[in-house]
Amino acid sequence: MLTRLSVRGFKNLVDVDVHFGAFTCIAGANGVGKSNLFDAIHFLSALSSTTLIGAALSVREEGGRAGDIRSLFHRVGDRQAQRIVFEAEMIVPEKATDDLGQEAKASITFLRYSLTLRLIEEDRKLAAVPQREGSSGSEGSLLQIESEELTGINLGDAAGKLLFPHSPEWRKSVIKGRRSAPLISTEPAEGGNLIKVHQDGRQGRALRLRAASLPRTVLSASNAAENPTILAARREMQSWRLLQLEPSALRKPDEFTAPTRLATDGRHLPATLFRLAYGHTPLSANGESNGKEERAERVYAQVANRLSELIDDLRTLRVDRDIQRELLTLYATSRDGTAHPARSLSDGTLRFLALAVLEMDPQAQGVICLEEPENGIHPSRIPSMLRLLQDIACDTSSSVGEDNPLRQVIVNTHSPSVVAEVPEDSLLVARLVEQVDKEGRRYTKVQFAALPDTWRSHAGQTPLVKKGELLSYLSPIVPSNGFSSAPEKASSSSTTQARRRRVVDRPDLQPYLFPSLEPIP
């Protein structure tokens, strides 16, 4: 669970410091930079799995994937920032398994991770020289680690760090252990900084690594035997994912051997639901359910009930097991008894269904980022979507367990309907503000503001939302100024088109839409 993220120098995240709860909704206009926060989370997650250049190239750029790592660094005119600084506070799982299947137990589960990356521009003539693995060769630029640190936050200090509402029982169930010494630290040395990896729970000398020569973060190379707590942090960061549910992926059936976890694009929906229905014990070769039919019916009914909040014409839901073709296909049956395969369901229905399955899956943990969840959803059903998203998130009023996994949801939107319906303390409004640098250059940066009198408004220096900004979401439709419904002569067809009466301008609707406004003379 990501409880706080500070970013400096990443795209237009110049000096962002955001506190998160179990559910967060970020609202903002197109192009303001709310997606850049998701990109920063994705970048940190990728850095826990792959090389520096691999992580940098996985971050999207406007119009596609980033092809130049310099696009990640903040730019003002022709001046390029040289550093990106991240600081993340997170709650990690107590147990983790490394790449060799070895299990580890973290010595402390509330951690602060800091990372500074440096951009080094080289002479273009040297750009053709082969570089070490993990370095960026994009037009003569190198991405290097300047510092990396991982420290623990003890239970006694946790209450002052976890600003969102939560119960003592929840806090004690997720924050375990105690540690005063750092797990990863950075120290200056002749020839460049050294990254020190300290022993975790045992005596011994710290491993020292030259920061500038590292092709990847120290955290990304951890294992269970030597660094169990670092491994737990790595696994937590790897669980941070951006869901981009694609209808084409959601419509596909699954082979019997397919993974049984929902992919970020929505693949393996039938296999995931089938695993929830029948457990890990496979069906026999002749299709017998091995006594698990009662459990399956209960799971299918639960998902169908949730989906019925979106569509009325639904009776049952199931996954068909085709033994001959070895395929799993999802079917929804309407009230008239007609079975509809997933390929015939609407985009919005499929996305809602995928989230309903995700909500039931205790294996789905970590941070789930979702852009514009209202897409494909009728405005009257948006409250149902928001209830589902909040149910996916961890309930911080009770202890964490199999029925309340440590899971977090962050969404972004520009929909007035979503902004109006989300809990007030979950809302952050992204806006552009103008700044002047030390040399007098003007630039814009994104800022995340909270509503007054919420826990977010007390989180450090969090700016507050102005009423005018909020009213643009709550009253997005502006009455016509001096509009007359009487027909007018126009000099051209384009003028006639522009002067046509809008639906919102109908006199019979005006009293319901703008009851507090006086008629325009």
Condensed to tens digits (0 to 9), the pLDDT of residues 417-463 reads 999 999 999 999 999 999 888 778 888 999 999 999 899 888 767 89
Report the candidate in 258, 278, 280, 283 with the shortest Cα–Cα distance to residue 268: 258
Q: Hey, which residues does 97 pair with through a beta bridge?
A: 103
Give CA–CA dist 64/411, Å, rounded.
Answer: 21
Average pLDDT over residues 484-493: 46
pLDDT reported for residue 26: 97
pLDDT reported for residue 519: 47
- Give yes or no for residue 136 having a pLDDT over 50: no
Q: Identify the band that residue 490 occupies on the pLDDT scale cut at 50, 70 and 90.
A: very low
First to last CA, the chain: 55
Give CA–CA dist 150/4, Å, rounded.
Answer: 14
DSSP string, 204-239: -PPEEEEGGG-SS-SGGG--TTT-HHHHHHHHHHHT
Condensed to tens digits (0 to 9), the pLDDT of residues 160-212 reads 899 999 999 999 999 999 998 999 999 999 989 999 999 886 666 889 999 99
Residue 84 contacts residue 134 (beta carbons within 8 Å)? no
Sheet-wide strand order for 366-371: 241-243, 366-371, 407-413, 23-27, 427-436, 442-450
Residue 74 contacts residue 16 (beta carbons within 8 Å)? no
Report percent pLDDT > 90 for the chain.
66
Residue 101 contacts residue 224 (beta carbons within 8 Å)? no
Q: Identify the band that residue 502 occupies on the pLDDT scale cut at 50, 70 and 90.
A: confident
Average pLDDT for the chain:
86
- Hey, what are 140's tokens? 């003569």
- Give yes or no for residue 284 having a pLDDT over 60: no
The predicted model scores a pTM of 0.87
Taking CA atoms, 169 is separated from 1, 163, 363, 485, 515, in Å, by 17, 15, 22, 62, 47
Q: Identify the band that residue 477 occupies on the pLDDT scale cut at 50, 70 and 90.
A: low
Condensed to tens digits (0 to 9), the pLDDT of residues 40-79 reads 999 999 999 999 999 999 997 654 444 578 889 998 888 8
- Give yes or no for residue 13 having a pLDDT over 70: yes
Q: Hey, which residues does 410 pair with through a beta bridge?
A: 24, 369
Which region, left, alpha or beta, applies to residue 380 given φ > 0 means left and ψ of -120 to 50 means alpha? alpha
- Give yes or no for residue 482 having a pLDDT over 60: no
- Give yes or no for residue 121 having a pLDDT over 80: no
